[in-house]
Chains A and B, each alone.
Chain A
Amino acid sequence: MVGLILILLAVFSAATYWFARRRVVLAIANGGPRAHSRPKYHGAHAAIWAAVPAIVVLLVLAAAGPRLTTAITWADLPQAAPAAEPFRSQFQFDAEAIAAGRTPSAVAYSPAQRQALDAHAERIGAINGLLRLGGLAAVLLAALIGGLYAWSRARPDFRARNSVERWVAVLLFGCSAVAVLTTLGIVLSLVWESLRFFQTVSPWDFLTGTHWSPQIAIRADQVGSSGGFGAVPLFVGTFLIMAIAMLTAAPIGLMAAIYLAEYASKFQRAWIKPVLEILAGIPTVVYGFFAALTVGPAFRSAFNGLGEMLVGGPLNGLGLYLMGVQNQMALVAGFVMGIMLIPFVSSLSDDIINAVPQSLRDGSYAMGATRSETIKKVVLPAALPGVAGAMLLAVSRAIGETMIVTMAAGLQARITANPLDSVTTVTVQIVTLLTGDQEFDSPKTLSAFGLGLTLFVVTLILNIVALRIVQHYREQYD
């Protein structure tokens, strides 16, 4: 339906383009007055006026139509409809489903209710049809009025180009406003859903509680029991894995960047950079698969083997512990995440090291320092703020990374600093809470938005600080 109207509108506005253009062409032909704008601008002006108002009307109706129907029919539900919520809403919902030709839910209605449901569905269908007809008329009317208005203005003295360019400017501004709208959408949706969550669980309990078990709170039917929603174990797990990742990525990435920037020949750079870019381009789900099926088992068998050697010796207890280590340890997820971050850290640091002025190096060489001494004593201290910014960006990436931890880290929420333990992270919990069967309104589902909001705020602060540092650093040497 909407698609058909859009095609009709496209045809209509193309026709207006042609007519308006022709009108101007005819007016200026055979010694007529000089036109201010080229005929195509007159055509474009008319086409815009034929299409834009109609599309606005169409969008408003498409968005508001179903809500309007609901509002009208909700007010006078039949007598037989169930009085108690949520069954009353379900009744309305089912009636709308029947009216739209979908299958209603499996709720068992009594015969009287069933009859009322069908009648109500019919009523909704009738109102829908009326609205649709009225909407169609409104859209066509808007297109017609817009088109006629623009056509009437298609005279040689009309400044069509300026008008079209104003429209283009509005379009361009609108496009760049999408970025702001996205941010607004993220913030509003996260805050809105989190507020609903925080109505049942206090933010303080959420941020400082040490017991995380959203599943149990549902099963015991104790909706809103605050015991299950303490997120501290998740924060600890996230931090532990992030720390392991950074311990892997920071030295390797930084050293690789130093090598590329200071030592590598042109030929080496030409080869090493693309290889690192490939590493950066591999999807994280692939890293997750690698962690779960290759690195995890390899690490476990290594630790188990080590444990076997220690058992019976002076470190018997440690040996026994190592023999019991499982695949899903924090070390595996953190290590693979670190590998993923190497190209990120190295390319950022590479840029920053390259931005250090050559005069600083030359000065150091002139004093007789070797290359490595120059790097350690001159280049790195000069680049330190920038490198710190790059590391912060990497930390933010590590905290927000989802697939590797979902596939390779566990689900046990516990507070530990032991890298051989299985921990869970904020992102893993969001995925677990929101995949599979879910009711949209349960605190269990809503808690995912609370976690998401925390994640967003933390990464946003890290990014802002990091970008500030990097920018400031750039200005310093520009």
Chain B
Amino acid sequence: MTDRSDVRAAVQARLKKRHAAERRFRLYGLLAVGVAIAFLLLLLGRIIEQGHTAFITHSITLDVAVDAQRVDPAHPQGANYDQMAAEALMARLGVDADDADNARAARDLLSPDMGFQLLSQVREDPSLIGQTLTIEAPVGDSADLYFKDEISRDTPEDLRVLSNQQIGWLDRLEADGLVESHFNTGLFTRSDSTQPETAGLLGAVVGSALMLMVTALLSIPIGVLAAVYLEEFAPKNKLTEIIEVNINNLAAVPSIVYGLLGLAVFIGWMGLPRSSPLVGGIVLSLMAMPTVIIATRAALKAVPPSIRDAALALGASRTQTVFAHVLPLALPGVMTGAIISMAHALGETAPLLMIGMVSFVPGVPEGVLSASSALPTQIFIWENAAEAAFHERTAAAILVLLVFMVVMNAVAIIVRRRLERRW
């Protein structure tokens, strides 16, 4: 017998190497999962970090004298209320109101909303002309950012939007207790605006809701019935096969192509109004339909054949079997799939850009035919805006969108947990 210790040592050494390789490989896998999770956390963390400030805003209370000399009671809209508000601010601060630079600097700190509020009050009650009104309005976007410490006084003066003089004024106003911070209800009660401090999401939320309603009304019934046909009725022939291949491929068509379809067919050819939730909803429903069909078919497949056999044996027709027994039993799965595809449709952006839902719409849409924006396109619009104050609002809008999606997915999970039946 020869001594095999050298062989054993070589085997041991190789085994050690192989085990090290094993550990390394496993580590790579763990690392990959870790990278994905880390990016999710980074993404959510960054958006919360950028967006949470938008839920707080600062408003200022001023006593504004409505100068009877400058307001024509017949044409109250002709007067410069912003200037009056700025003068009230300067009077409060005790600076020379006749200086044009001072006036401009003061106007910059106030939101045009103050002027609008003055105008609407005067319009409602012309007897207010000549009196002093107490108005509470949001501060200007730059002043708001300053109060949130987003604009630092340590930045050199020429690199920030507020001058030293303006910052001094803001400090004094805050010390005087005129500035108040509170929850930004305007974010949910106002619609889009060119001024960040008065821009809100109401119009976009309503637009998205209308659009989703159209999508749900079209894609869920049509998708479910199509799935019922393919799963329960369709004969195995060439035509059925074509339809099936078609649906699988439609699910993978880039979303922007659906937008082109919407632009060419629904707007160009049928003449439906641009930027309307109706067109958006139709386009999204075409996109959502393959997903609804695929989910419904999976749910129908999960219903055991014994149910069908029992119904048929008792003399029910095929239609009766499907609609009275199979479909009701598959309903939880169908609903889960439908809700998840609606949540997907809610976040879809690219096709909406094609059909003009990126235009500036300052009001709340009145119906499915009026011009409207939607939550994801509002995010896109605000992201492109120049003012820094829109950035926090973009992140806040993303948070609102994500909350809606989380709620919808949670509902889907609850439906699945509560109603799902295992056979």
Contact = CB atoms under 8 A, between A and B. Distances in A.
Interface of A: 63, 66, 161, 165, 168-169, 171-173, 175-180, 182-183, 185-186, 189-190, 192-193, 251-256, 258-260, 262-263, 272, 275-276, 278-279, 281-290, 292-294, 339, 342-343, 346, 370-373, 375-376, 393, 396-397, 399-403, 406-407, 427, 430-431, 434-435, 440, 448-449, 452, 455-456, 459-460, 463-464, 467
29 contacts: A172-B229, A175-B229, A176-B225, A176-B227, A177-B243, A179-B289, A183-B246, A183-B249, A186-B253, A189-B261, A189-B269, A259-B29, A283-B347, A286-B43, A288-B383, A289-B395, A292-B383, A346-B36, A370-B22, A372-B22, A373-B18, A393-B252, A406-B350, A430-B256, A430-B354, A431-B256, A435-B356, A459-B252, A463-B248
Main secondary structure, interface of B, reads: helix
Contacts of B265: 185, 189
A449 B264 contact: yes
Interface residues of B, number: 87
B254 A400 contact: yes
Contacts of B263: 434
A343 B265 CA distance: 34
A252 B32 CA distance: 5
Contacts of B398: 285-286, 289
Given A175-B226, A370-B19, A455 B247 contact: no
Contact of B402 (A178, A260, A286, A396): A286
B331 interface: no
B215 interface: no
A283 B376 contact: yes
Given A272-B37, A370-B21, 11 more contacts: A66-B271, A175-B222, A177-B243, A258-B29, A281-B343, A285-B376, A290-B46, A393-B252, A403-B349, A430-B354, A449-B264
Contacts of A180: 242-243, 246
Nearest to B25: A372
Nearest to B355: A434
B256 A402 contact: yes
A438 to B, nearest CB: 9
A370 B380 contact: no
B319 interface: yes
Contacts of B276: none
B347 to A, nearest CB: 3
Interface string B164-201: 00000000000000000000000000000000000000
B31 interface: yes
Contacts of A176: 225-227, 229-230, 234, 243, 293
Contact of B257 (A161, A172, A186, A463): A186
Contacts of A263: 26, 29-30
A173 B256 CA distance: 28
B260 interface: yes
B112 interface: no
Contacts of A287: 43
A342 B37 CA distance: 11
B402 A282 contact: yes
Contacts of A464: 249
B222 A285 contact: no
Interface of B: 18-19, 21-22, 24-26, 28-33, 35-37, 39-40, 42-43, 46-47, 50, 221-223, 225-230, 233-234, 242-243, 246-250, 252-258, 260-261, 263-265, 268-271, 286, 289-290, 293, 317-319, 343-344, 346-350, 353-354, 356, 358, 376, 379-380, 383, 391, 394-395, 398, 401-402, 405, 409
B47 A283 contact: no
Contact of A276 (B25, B36, B317): B36
Contacts of B25: 371-372, 375-376
A442 to B, nearest CB: 14
Nearest to A284: B349
A182 B319 contact: no
A181 to B, nearest CB: 9
A452 B257 contact: yes
B353 A435 contact: yes
Contacts of A346: 36
B229 to A, nearest CB: 4
Contacts of A183: 246, 249-250
A63 B265 CA distance: 13
A307 B291 CA distance: 48
A178 B222 contact: yes
A434 B18 CA distance: 57
Nearest to A338: B39
Contacts of B37: 272, 275
Nearest to B39: A339
B252 A396 contact: yes
Of the candidates B31, B36, B376, the one having the most CB atoms from chain A within 10 angstroms of its own CB is B36
B218 to A, nearest CB: 9
Contacts of A373: 18, 21-22
Nearest to B37: A275
Nearest to B19: A370
A212 B140 CA distance: 42
